[in-house]
Structures are given as C-alpha cells and as structure tokens.
C-alpha cells in the first residue's frame, strides 16, 4: 500500500505531503525524517496549482530532480484512470490544471500507469494459467496411478493363470477366439467373454476341443493372452505403447466385464472345478 507523510513547507508556508513507497509505515526512523528535512531544502514544493501550472514557474522550480506526486494527486489520477485508462487531450488538460501538474506529466503518469496495469494483468493471467495447469497435472497423475494399478492387476492375474497352466489342473483349453484384426486402438475393449463351454474341454474329450489353428496353451510356456495376435486379451501394455490407450482404462474392461457376467453363468475365461 502506498503511504505518505504530512509535511509543512516553511519556505512557502503551505502544507504538503511527502510520498513514501509502498508497504511502509507512517514513521520509520531517523533516516526517513532526515529525508524529509533534506527534501524540504532541496525541493521547492509547489505553492498552488495555478503557480505550478505556469510553465515558467515549473521550469524554474524543478531543476534536475524528480519529485514524486502527492498522495492527493495520485489519488485523483487513480480515480481518473479507473474511469478511463486512456487520456484524451481535453481530459489531460483538465486534470493537469486540477492537479497543478503539466499536461505532459499527466500523460506520462497515465502511460506509466498503463504499463503497471499491463504487468499486473500479465501476472494475473499467469496465475490463472498456472492453477489451471496444476490441476490438470494433478488429474493426470491420479489417472496415471490408476492405470499403473490396473496394469499390475493384469500382471498378477496373468501370472496366476500361467501358474495354473503349468500345474496342469484343471486343463484349460481355448476354443475359437476370434483374432482381433484391427489396431487395438480402434477396437473396443474385448472382454474375452467366450462361453465357458467353448473354452474348457469336455470331460470325455480330454483336450480334444482345442482348435487346430489356435494356440496350444498347454504345450506352450507362454500365455495365450500375451499372443500378439490377440492384443485385446489380457495383454500387458508397455508404458511406451501409447496411442492405443488414450488415457482410458482399457484393461479394466478386459478384466471387469467377465466378473460382471459371472452371475449370469457366462463369459468367464476359465473355471476351476
């Protein structure tokens, strides 16, 4: 906040204000007081707006030193700026007369004020953008975490499946899973909801129902679902493999859907006796 100090100019007999910079308390210490005294000697404070508006007086009384505007002057300028931040010539002249300043000073003040406003506006815009960005990052992080969690679930379940395959009981066979032709990104999540009877061997046939062209699960150490030909089925997607994911939880569909169908007696990939 801007603050000021009342000051009496003995040479002119007029009261005046010494403007202090922002954030300062009214009385600060010896140095400030000394400055007032020094200033009163150095600065020929304006006596009246009429005098100050006089070009000759102004030139004589303001040698090389800059002087700060009084709080009253600044207040009025601020009010005027709030009303309209551009200064048409007529208003400039009126303001100058009213404030006892040169029109040029008023114009300069408006120019500098516009520059300050622009800087502040940039800061505000930056803050807005930053908070927006931060919330997006936060959202992205939580989605990423969920994705990782689901991935590890997939890995865990795949390992369990492989373990069961190695022990050989029960015999898990696969029959007629349509290969996914298209790019995984273009294919809606396939829950691999092949009917149970299509996947398990019949009691009598031993593993006879395995499709001849299909993958031979029991002979292979690899998981059937990791076969590249069936990318939509329980495959583990690498981190770099974007584009087919689009931030959506593809694997959750693959896993959750069979559970949803569980009670309907359909669509589980495997059934243990």
Partner DNA sequence: TTGTGTTTTATTGCCTCC
Partner DNA sequence: GGAGGCAATAAAACACAA
Which residues here bind DNA, judged by CB under 7 A?
A: 2-3, 18-25, 28, 30-32, 35, 39, 42-43, 62, 64-69, 74, 86-87, 89, 104-105, 107-112, 114-116, 118
Q: How far is the CB of 93 from DNA (least distance, A)?
A: 9
- The DSSP secondary-structure symbol of 178 reads P
When the beta carbons of 28 and 176 are compared against DNA, the nearer one is 28
When the beta carbons of 106 and 254 are compared against DNA, the nearer one is 106
Give the long-range contacts of residues 16-21, CB within 8 A, separation 24 or more. Answer: 16/45, 16/46, 16/70, 17/70, 17/71, 17/72, 18/68, 19/68, 19/69, 19/70, 19/71, 19/74
When the beta carbons of 24 and 51 are compared against DNA, the nearer one is 24
The helix (H) or strand (E) run that includes residue 146 is helix 103-167
3-state secondary structure (DSSP) of residue 3: strand
Q: How far is the CB of 141 from DNA (least distance, A)?
A: 33
When the beta carbons of 66 and 265 are compared against DNA, the nearer one is 66
Closest by alpha carbon to 217, among 152, 272, 170? 170
Q: How far is the CB of 250 from DNA (least distance, A)?
A: 48
Tokens of 135: 């919330």
- The residues, any chain, with a CB within 8 Å of residue 98's CB and separated by 6 or more, are 49, 76
3-state secondary structure (DSSP) of residue 135: helix
When the beta carbons of 92 and 147 are compared against DNA, the nearer one is 92
Q: Tell me the C-alpha distance between 222 and 224, whole Å.
A: 6
When the beta carbons of 61 and 237 are compared against DNA, the nearer one is 61
Q: How far is the CB of 38 from DNA (least distance, A)?
A: 8
Please, which residues bridge with residue 68 across strands?
none
Q: How far is the CB of 143 from DNA (least distance, A)?
A: 39
Q: How far is the CB of 9 from DNA (least distance, A)?
A: 13
């Amino acid at each position: 906040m801007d603050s000021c100090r009342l000051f009496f100019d003995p040479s002119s007999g007029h009261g005046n204000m010494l403007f202090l910079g922002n954030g300062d308390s009214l009385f600060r210490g010896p140095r400030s007081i000394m400055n007032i005294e020094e200033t009163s000697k150095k600065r020929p404070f304006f006596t009246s707006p009429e005098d100050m508006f006089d070009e000759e007086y102004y030139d004589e009384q303001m040698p090389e030193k800059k002087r700060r505007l009084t709080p009253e002057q600044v207040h009025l300028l601020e009010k005027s700026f709030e009303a309209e931040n551009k200064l048409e010539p007529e208003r400039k002249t009126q303001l100058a007369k009213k404030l006892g300043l040169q029109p040029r000073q008023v114009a300069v003040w408006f120019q500098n004020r516009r520059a300050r406003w622009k800087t502040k506006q940039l800061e505000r815009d930056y803050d807005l953008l930053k908070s927006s960005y931060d919330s997006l990052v936060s959202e992205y992080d939580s989605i990423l975490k969920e994705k990782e969690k689901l991935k590890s679930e997939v890995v865990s379940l795949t390992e369990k499946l492989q373990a069961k395959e190695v022990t050989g009981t029960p015999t898990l066979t696969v029959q007629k899973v349509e290969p996914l032709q298209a790019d995984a990104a273009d294919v809606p999540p396939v829950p691999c909801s092949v009917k149970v009877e299509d996947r398990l061997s019949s009691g009598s046939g031993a593993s006879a129902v395995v499709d001849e062209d299909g993958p031979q699960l029991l002979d292979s150490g690899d998981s059937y679902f990791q076969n590249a030909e069936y990318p939509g089925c329980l495959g583990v997607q690498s981190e770099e493999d974007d584009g087919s994911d689009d931030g959506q939880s593809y694997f959750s569909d693959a896993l959750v859907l069979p559970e949803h169908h569980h009670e309907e007696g359909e669509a589980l990939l495997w059934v243990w006796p």
